[in-house]
Structures are given as structure tokens and as C-alpha cells.
Amino acid sequence: MKSIKVEAKNVEKAVKKALAELEIDRKDAEINVIDKGSKGLLGLIGAKDAVVEVNEIFDPVKKGKEFLETLLNKANINVGVEILEEKSNEEQVVYNLTGEKELGLVIGHRGETLDAMQYLTSIYINKELEEYFRVLLDAEGYRDRRKETLERLAERLASKAERKKRKVVLEPMPPHERRIIHITLKENKNVKSYSEGKEPYRKVMIEPLDK
């Protein structure tokens, strides 16, 4: 969070100067008047400048959006960033990446690039906060489509494990995707699922209960 201490002829001029140097609007600033200053005798003798301290108010939602936009611009990827207001609240924010031609670049293989960008944005935001603020990043409904794919995969492989009476091993997945598999099979009384291995190569195992 940026902060600056400035002196000027009066408080208003000091505040304006500080805001200009920080490149922020007044609504995004916390202003502390350290010394109101004084005009002195006849406006000359004993005159004293005003001193103010201006701190930038860290808005995690706004800063996260700016971070993502900077990241995309540096990568020269023409993709927009929007805030999904209906899914965001005081504890989390959901960003949606929008575009047509280059959206696949930011999703990556099985969402790996999307996950990496989400992770980086979370680190950037939370280093400035005392309490954890959750960051979720989607791309035109990719997360829901991927969830549906994983649910179908879990059910199909569970049937395979049950039919062939042997354990089925899935490819390595990130934690949130493994969780989808486990939740999908939680009520299935014919198989059990568990994870083995170390990150990032940890895999889901689906094993029949009656071999």
C-alpha cells in the first residue's frame, strides 16, 4: 500500500500534491493532517507549511482486476477482465476473462494457465491484507464446463473400476479438481476414492469396494 507525507502552503494544496504523486483519486485515499500549518505574522514572519500524510486505500477487488489487466497486457493477450458482482462479496471476488480469439491461451491445458493466473492474483492481493481474501478466476464459464467433464469422468471410471474389479488411477490433478472427483463419488456405495502421491503429481485412485 502506497503512502506519502507532503508539505505545502495549506492542507488542501498538500492533499492535492500527495494525490498527484500517488496517482490516485481522493476517494481512494486515507488523509491524515499532521500539521495544519500557519500563515504567520502578516503572512510572512513565522509562516509554517501544512503537513499531511496520505495513504492509498487498498481495494482488493479493484487491485486484483488491475493486476490481471497488467499481466495480460504484458503478455500481449487481448482478453478483457470483468468482476462478477453476483458471485463476489466481502470475503471473495470472482473475475471473468472475456474474449473470442485468445481465450484459449489464458485457459491453457486443462485450465493450468487459468489456475496459475488465479494463484498469482491471490498472492498479490493477500500480501496487502491481514485476513485471507479468496480469488476465483473463470473464463466464459470454463470452470462449470470443466466441473461437468470431471463429474462425468468420475462416474465413468467408477463404473469401469466396479466392472473390472480393479483400481483405476487418474492422471495428476490440482487439488480443486481432485475434490470434484471425490465429491462426485462420495455417495457411490460401490467404490471409494482417495488421493496418493505428492504435488503436483498427486493422483486420484478409484477402487471397487467388493473385489
pLDDT at site 9: 86
Residue 125 has pLDDT above 70, yes or no: yes
Which domains occur in the chain, in start order? Answer: 3-56 (3.30.30), 60-140 (3.30.300.20), 144-208 (3.30.1370.50)
pLDDT over 80 (residue 40):
no
Tell whether the model's pLDDT for residue 211 goes beyond 60: no
pLDDT score recorded for residue 2: 82
The answer to whether residue 59 scores a pLDDT higher than 70 is yes
DSSP symbols for the chain: --EEEEEESSHHHHHHHHHHHHT--GGGEEEEEEE--B--BTTTBT-B-EEEEEEE---HHHHHHHHHHHHHHHTT---EEEE-GGG--SSEEEEEEE-SSSHHHHH-GGGHHHHHHHHHHHHHHHTT-SS--EEEEEETTHHHHHHHHHHHHHHHHHHHHHHHTS-EEPPP--HHHHHHHHHHHTT-SSEEEEEES-TTS-EEEEEES--
pLDDT score, position 63: 93
Q: Identify the residue with better confidence: 96 or 27.
A: 96
**Given this model, what pLDDT does residue 46 score?**
66
Q: Mean pLDDT across the stretch 72-96?
A: 93
pLDDT at res. 106: 94
Q: What is the pLDDT of residues 182-204, one digit of tens each?
A: 999 999 999 999 999 998 899 99
Over the stretch 10-38, which tens digit does the pLDDT of each residue have? 899 989 998 998 888 998 899 999 988 88
Mean pLDDT of the region 93-112:
92
156-171 confidence digits (pLDDT tens): 999 999 999 999 999 9
4 has a pLDDT exceeding 70: yes
Provide the percentage of residues in the chain whose pLDDT is more than 90: 70
Share of the chain above pLDDT 70, in %: 96
